[in-house]
Amino acid sequence: MEFSTFVMNDQLTKLKQGDCNDPHSVLGMHTMEEEGRTSLVVRAFCPTACSVEVISVEDSTKRYPLLSCEDSGIFEGVIKKRKNKFLYKLECQDAEGNKWDYVDPYQFSSTFSDQDLYLFGEGTDYEIYNKLGANVKEVMGVQGVTFAVWAPHAKRVSVVGDFNNWDGRRHAMRFIETHGIWEIFIPDIHEMTIYKYEIKTEKDIILYKADPYAKYSQIRPDNASVVYNLNKYKWKDKKWIEKRSQTAYYKEPVSIYEVHIGSWKKHSNGDFYTYKEAAHSLAKYIKEMGYTHVELMGIIEHPFDGSWGYQVTGYFAPTSRYGSPDDFRYFIDIMHKHNIGVILDWVPAHFPKDAFALEKFDGTALYEHIDEKQAHHPHWGTLIFDYGRPQVALFLIASALSWLEQYHIDGLRVDAVASMLYLDYGREGDYVPNKYGGRENLEAIEFFKKLNSVAHSRCQGIMMIAEESTAWPRVSHPVEQGGLGFGFKWNMGWMNDFLTYMKIDPYFRKYNHEKITFSLMYAFSENFIQVLSHDEVVHGKSSMIYKMPGDDAQKFANLRAAYGYMFMHPGKKMLFMGNEFAQTTEWNEKKELDWELIQNEPHACVQQYVKDLNKFYKAHKCLWEIGNGYENFEWIDCDNKDQSIISFIRKGPQIKDKLVVIINFTPVVWHTYRIGVPERAVYKEVLNSDDIYYNGTGVVNSTVHAADIPWHGKPYSIEINIPPLGMSVFKIEKLLKESPKKKGK
């Protein structure tokens, strides 16, 4: 063995100084031509070793010592008797006689093909998470992990962890300069290895960053990334996925239970339920309550519990608070086993300024907008993604697809859509307009169109849901029809008007009657979900039961009437956990729900009422099988503001599917109240929120016959008793061929 003639070249100097951006061109095994003869040269960087030998993996008797280069930690040797490269290990020994060996990572070629790089550059490699990040792979018959990260402005990037004593000189990465990607394959790295990227910026500042594409992370407050193999889990939900692929949810009943796993229930010592522990108890409860879906808050990795998961640092990792990625997959499997769909809150609107995460990732504005004025979110103190940058849009779309494809998630509820659509959101006029001088964020609009088009084309039967709080048109319309491509939109307008109305003393509701009826002016302009989410029971807004006016009995009656109207109103449904049994305190992520309340009759009765509402909703097609809109809904009387009574018809495919709904928003009982009905028929009361069964006052109705007395613009009418602060629902039991005898008023 001997030194090569270029041992002290410029790259070796940079390597020793930690500035080498192409270590694979220096380290590892290379062929060299000298005096017309081909030889091999091997270089290694082993700063703690005093001797290093090259050992053939195929034949361990073939050993070649390397020579130390001026005590720099660099070892080199020329193998003159061999011309062809071979797979080898390095055996090292330190001054104390300790020995260790490892397969040299610098002998492996790049794992990126030209096609990979092309698709990444144009932002269309939607499975980029299989290439960027840490991926357990076998290369040349050797097990290990490929690490790759996008950091185009870095001077040098290394993988660091316990496996190399967090020494950034040990596993410096190869730079693919044309695309800004750094990569390395490290043999013998195992699952659950913790790591970060050590990034040397152009200004020679050292940053330690978590992997943007990490599949798993340490439990907060620690924040290193964790190697995890997602290829070993065996799914058991094939039947569910096949059924879902044939389902159009806008034509199906959808009732969603919004849940924060960390506070739904806790162990007696305050510990979280794990994904596996929550799976069985939550699935059982959701099934008993009659919901069709669960929507999960705070699953995507985030450092601060108080953000509820809306300030994300790990866009590809389920939070480690509750277990491993495969534990989360188990949770989803259990939900699907019980025919419960899983919706995930997903946050592409902004990200936090935590130094270990995406902020100034390679020392420059990489994921955030390069313009400082457009990069900072005025409401949340966070940073805004640069949606016009192909690699950033790809990062987000790949994140969405990873949840849909790798975790079998059935839908994504996209948070804070309005903040993305408007350049002036929260900026009070101080904003940078688009190229046409407008306030619309053109890049975000195109991002949504691409996201939804790709997601729906690749994942059949999923739900893409927009939390969009403005009147932006056609949010839930197909892209080819000029829409944003979402499948559904949260009905924030209804929610705001509805809660404002319900909080008003019944005596004054007649002066605000339009707040309870206006939503029907636009109810079919989008595929709406009627939502009463976590946002409505925090920050001093009060719990649902304490939004209601009156004494305790009236509060519960108001709440039952409110939920009744929500379920009879057009649109899918979503209710936040605790609302179903009238939780009295605001939601607090630090403590579990007040389950002891259901030992009290009023709370237990509300829980039973919500259970029955879900059952009733799913059983009646007229409440969810919509056509083109208003053929499914018809007002009977929307103008009775003096009595604060509304009435309407929900219509299904058949005449007998029709439901007649009457809701009284005052504490007054109205006997022999005449109401117009569409058919000459016998009507049966099928639901009454004032039933004693629900802890009401018992103002209920028996079967009633329609009379040939026109009323409310309808050819027939019935006389009923209307309960105080209550809802009555009637269904046609039998059509009448002959007119019954008319009764006097």
Q: Residue 453 in 3-state DSSP?
A: helix
163 and 96 part of one domain: no
Flag whether 620 is in a domain.
Answer: no
Other Cβ atoms less than 10 A from the Cβ of 192: the count is 10
% of the chain residues with pLDDT over 90: 87
662 and 685 part of one domain: yes
Q: How confident is the model at residue 5 (pLDDT cuts 50, 70, 90)?
A: very low
Tokens of 245: 């692929």
φ/ψ bin of 481: left (φ > 0), alpha (ψ from -120 to 50), beta (otherwise): alpha
Per-residue model confidence as pLDDT tens digits over 119-140: 999 999 999 999 999 999 999 9
Give the per-residue pLDDT at 739: 61
Q: Which residues contact 256 (CB under 8 A, 6 or more apart)?
A: 291, 292, 293, 294, 295, 343, 529, 572, 573, 574, 575
Give the per-residue pLDDT at 742: 52
As a whole number of Å, the CA-based R_g of the chain is 32
- Give the mean model confidence (pLDDT) for residues 248-255: 92
Flag whether 721 is in a domain.
Answer: yes
Flag whether 57 is in a domain.
Answer: yes
Tokens of 718: 């019935």
- Give the mean model confidence (pLDDT) for residues 191-200: 97
* Continuous segment of H or E residues that includes residue 257: strand 255-260
Flag whether 20 is in a domain.
Answer: yes
Q: State the Cα–Cα distance between residues 173 and 157, nearest whole angstrom.
A: 6
- pTM of the complete model: 0.93
Of the candidates 649, 541, 650, the one whose C-alpha atom is nearest the C-alpha of residue 585 is 541
Q: State the Cα–Cα distance between residues 314 and 403, nearest whole angstrom.
A: 12
DSSP 8-class letter at 602:
H
DSSP 8-class letter at 558:
H
Identify whether the C-beta of residue 427 lies closer than 8 Å to the C-beta of residue 484.
no
Give the per-residue pLDDT at 21: 85
Cite the DSSP H helix spans in 569-656. 601-619
**Averaged confidence pLDDT in the chain:** 93
Q: Is the pLDDT of residue 379 over 50?
A: yes
Give the per-residue pLDDT at 740: 53
Identify whether the C-beta of residue 37 lies closer than 8 Å to the C-beta of residue 83.
no
Give the per-residue pLDDT at 402: 98
Per-residue model confidence as pLDDT tens digits over 76-124: 999 988 889 999 999 999 989 999 999 999 999 999 999 999 999 999 9
Per-residue model confidence as pLDDT tens digits over 503-536: 999 999 999 999 999 999 999 999 999 999 999 9
Per-residue model confidence as pLDDT tens digits over 530-578: 999 999 999 999 999 999 999 999 999 999 999 999 999 999 999 999 9
- Give the mean model confidence (pLDDT) for residues 576-604: 97
Of 595 and 73, which is predicted with more confidence? 595
Flag whether 552 is in a domain.
Answer: no
Final residue before a domain boundary, out of 76, 107, 138:
107
87 and 118 part of one domain: no
Flag whether 52 is in a domain.
Answer: yes
Give the per-residue pLDDT at 428: 81
* Continuous segment of H or E residues that includes residue 532: strand 528-532
Q: State the Cα–Cα distance between residues 306 and 312, nearest whole angstrom.
A: 12
Of the candidates 709, 614, 724, 595, the one whose C-alpha atom is nearest the C-alpha of residue 668 is 724
155 and 213 part of one domain: yes
Give the per-residue pLDDT at 741: 54
The CA-to-CA distance between both ends of the chain, in Å, stands at 114
Q: Residue 687 in 3-state DSSP?
A: strand
Q: Is the pLDDT of residue 2 over 90?
A: no
Q: Range of 670's domain? A: 627-735
Which CATH number is 62's domain given?
2.60.40.10
| Structural domain count, the chain | 3
Give the per-residue pLDDT at 105: 96
Give the per-residue pLDDT at 1: 44
Tokens of 699: 């103002």
β-pair partners for 209: 197
Identify whether the C-beta of residue 244 lies closer than 8 Å to the C-beta of residue 463.
no
688 and 632 part of one domain: yes
Q: Is the pLDDT of residue 360 over 60?
A: yes
Give the per-residue pLDDT at 373: 86
Q: Is the pLDDT of residue 393 over 80?
A: yes
- Give the mean model confidence (pLDDT) for residues 665-689: 96
125 and 222 part of one domain: yes
Q: With the CA atoms of 604, 609, 611 and 616 taken in that order, what torsion angle do they form, in degrees rounded to the nearest 10?
A: 170
103 and 143 part of one domain: no
Flag whether 338 is in a domain.
Answer: no
DSSP labels, 150-166: E-TT-SEEEEEEGGGTT
- Give the mean model confidence (pLDDT) for residues 643-667: 95
123 and 221 part of one domain: yes
121 and 141 part of one domain: yes
* Residue 576 phi, psi dihedral angles, 5° rounding: -75, 150
Q: State the Cα–Cα distance between residues 25 and 27, nearest whole angstrom.
A: 6
Given the structure tokens 């190697």, which residue do they identify?
A: 227
Flag whether 265 is in a domain.
Answer: no
Q: Residue 519 in 3-state DSSP?
A: helix
Q: Which residues contact 346 (CB under 8 A, 6 or more apart)?
A: 300, 399, 400, 403, 412, 413, 414, 415
Of the candidates 471, 477, 555, 483, the one whose C-alpha atom is nearest the C-alpha of residue 518 is 471
User: What length does the chain have?
Assistant: 745
Given the structure tokens 């144009």, which residue do they identify?
A: 122
Q: State the Cα–Cα distance between residues 563 and 557, nearest whole angstrom.
A: 10
Q: Which amino acid is at 434?
A: N
Query: Catalytic site residues?
Result: 415, 467
Q: Is the pLDDT of residue 71 over 60?
A: yes
Q: At what angle do helices 552-568 and 601-619 cross, to 10 degrees?
A: 10
Final residue before a domain boundary, out of 71, 89, 107:
107
Strand 88-93 vs strand 51-56: parallel, antiparallel, or unpaired? antiparallel
Q: Is the pLDDT of residue 6 over 70?
A: no
Give the sheet arrangement for strand 181-187, strand by strand.
Answer: 133-139, 142-150, 181-187, 174-176
Q: State the Cα–Cα distance between residues 263 and 437, nearest whole angstrom.
A: 46
Q: How far is CA 536 from CA 169, 471, 498, in A?
A: 51, 20, 12
Per-residue model confidence as pLDDT tens digits over 697-734: 999 999 999 999 999 999 999 999 999 999 999 999 99
Q: How confident is the model at residue 738 (pLDDT cuts 50, 70, 90)?
A: low
% of the chain residues with pLDDT over 70: 97
φ/ψ bin of 96: left (φ > 0), alpha (ψ from -120 to 50), beta (otherwise): alpha
81 and 121 part of one domain: no
What's the angle, vertex CA 318, arms to CA 573 and CA 411, rounded to 5? Answer: 30
91 and 158 part of one domain: no
* Continuous segment of H or E residues that includes residue 645: strand 645-650
Q: How confident is the model at residue 47 (pLDDT cuts 50, 70, 90)?
A: confident
82 and 150 part of one domain: no
- Give the mean model confidence (pLDDT) for residues 623-645: 88
Final residue before a domain boundary, out of 182, 209, 226:
226
Of 56 and 18, which is predicted with more confidence? 56
